[in-house]
Structure 1
Amino acid sequence: MKVRYFQDTDTLYIEFRERDIFETRDLDDATLLDLDADGYVCAMTLEHASQRTDVSRLMVEGIAA
């Protein structure tokens, strides 16, 4: 899983699995969901992230080995 914040565009990108993207769905005007060919969620993009989340703080819990 990768989390990236692009300050220049105020975009938060969360990659759940590294797969080829088959389809991108707009959940609303500022949220995109990337799906693979099997319909599994691969990534999510949040635009205007600093207004919608606390991008200044990232906490990771429950990391599996």
Structure 2
Amino acid sequence: MKFSYYDETDSLYIELSDREGADAKEVASGVVLDLDADGHLVGIGIDRASHLTDLARFKSKRPQTSPLPAPAQ
């Protein structure tokens, strides 16, 4: 999952899949679902994002992983 915010258009895009979008459906004013050729959701576009959420509090969390062990010498 990838989040992209575009300040110049005040839009937020949430990419859910690497698949290419083939169709778009507006489900609410300024909220567009991108669908692949099979009708599966691949992304969500949100216009006027700063009016809908406090972007300063918007955080992305990644799972923590253990560091790789050093290679044997």
Q: TM-score range by the shorter chain?
A: 0.7 to 0.9
TM-score (norm 1): 0.85
Alignment partner, residue 43 of structure 1 = 43
Whichever of the two has the greater Rg, that structure is: 2
**CA deviation after TM superposition for structure 1 residue 37, in Å:** 1.2
Q: Does 1:8 align with 2:11?
A: no
Structure 1: runs of 5 or more not aligned: none
Q: Could you tell me which amino acid in structure 2 is paired with residue 6 of structure 1?
A: Y
Secondary structure at the counterpart of residue 56 of structure 1: helix
| Number of residue-to-residue matches in the alignment | 65
How far, CA to CA, are the matches of 1:26 and 1:47 in structure 2? 11
Superposition RMSD on alpha carbons, in Å? 1.8
TM-score (norm 2): 0.76
**CA deviation after TM superposition for structure 1 residue 60, in Å:** 3.3
How far does the alpha carbon of each residue in 1:9-45 deviate from its partner, in whole angstroms, 9 at most, with x for none?
1000100001111110011221000001111110000
Of structures 1 and 2, the one with the larger relative CO (CA 8 A, separation 6+) is 1
